[in-house]
Amino acid sequence: MTRTPFMAANWKMHLRAADIDDFCAEVRDALAGSTTAQRGVRVGLFPPFVYLPRVVEALAGVDVTVGSQTARPEAKGAFTGEVNVEMVKDVGATCVIVGHSERRHVFGETDADVRARLDAVLAAGLDVILCIGETLDERQADQTLAVVGRQLQAGLAGLEGDVVAHRVTVAYEPVWAIGTGLTATPAQAQEVHAEVRRQVGALLDDDTAARLVIQYGGSVKPENVSELMACPDVDGALVGGASLAFSSFGSIVDFDKQGSGNTGVDR
């Protein structure tokens, strides 16, 4: 079963127009000559809303996914300050992150809110990254697998397997590892990734589970990406801090040149 690794830069509320222009120029230099299939890695950039059109334009013709960090599901309405799925689609985004732990914990989004966003993104024909992950308290209470199981059930139950296999990426991001410098060990990541795949098999079907791309997120950096990618069920990374400079994000995209031997082929 071939799964193309997916390396995604989640810039959160960082970088300004000039930084973004420089970053996009470096992406163009590095990637304009190859397709995702040729390089064997899908690359995604998730800028703040206001810079989405700028990134889409700067990377026109380059085989890179440009997406939004969130989007509301409602078609329209009195939601001062918010942006919906159709709006990010209008400006050329092709993917939306839903359920990031900062959306869940800082903005209070529930499992049901996350599902409403995911459904709206799929209905609009866009791809989606569904983030799941346990807090430190939940891990210490031995609740990790139960929590990710609940989040997967809420996020994916009832969807068509083929749609999930093609258009959904799951990002396992232990909340205690996000922005803290603490990374799950490869063994910890692999344990949860294997369980995510098993649970998706039980929820949907085994073929969908085998094709599902599962990213790891939480303090991924050039120094640890190879060992994480060497895990059989780790298919990519959702990267925050280390995605803010192309010097480090580019090395993460090039993880297979750092000795892990994991090229995404026939795993």
List contacts with ligand PGA (CB under 6 A): 10, 173, 178-179, 217-220, 238-242
148: closest CA among 231, 229, 233? Answer: 233
Name which of 121 and 178 has its Cβ closer to ligand PGA. Answer: 178
Smallest separation (angstroms) from ligand PGA to the CB of 204: 24
Smallest separation (angstroms) from ligand PGA to the CB of 220: 5
* One-letter-per-residue 3-state SS of 64-98: CEEEECCCECCCCCCCCCCCEHHHHHHCCCCEEEE
Name which of 159 and 238 has its Cβ closer to ligand PGA. Answer: 238
Name which of 7 and 204 has its Cβ closer to ligand PGA. Answer: 7
User: 213-241: string of b/e by CB count within 10 Å (b at 16+)?
Assistant: bbbbbbbbbbebbbbbbebebbbbbbbbb
Name which of 69 and 208 has its Cβ closer to ligand PGA. Answer: 69
Q: Which residue is nearest to ligand PGA (CB)?
A: 240
How many beta carbons lie within 10 A of that of residue 88, not counting itself? 26
- Burial of residue 259 (CB within 10 Å: 0-12, 13-18, 19+) is exposed
Name which of 96 and 203 has its Cβ closer to ligand PGA. Answer: 96
Provide the annotated active-site residues. Answer: 100, 173
* E strand residue ranges, the chain: 6-10, 42-46, 65-68, 95-98, 127-132, 168-172, 213-217, 236-239
Q: Between the CA of residue 215 and those of 132, 235, 256, what are the distances in Å?
A: 10, 5, 15
Smallest separation (angstroms) from ligand PGA to the CB of 210: 25
Smallest separation (angstroms) from ligand PGA to the CB of 39: 22
Smallest separation (angstroms) from ligand PGA to the CB of 142: 23
β-bridge partners, 217: 238
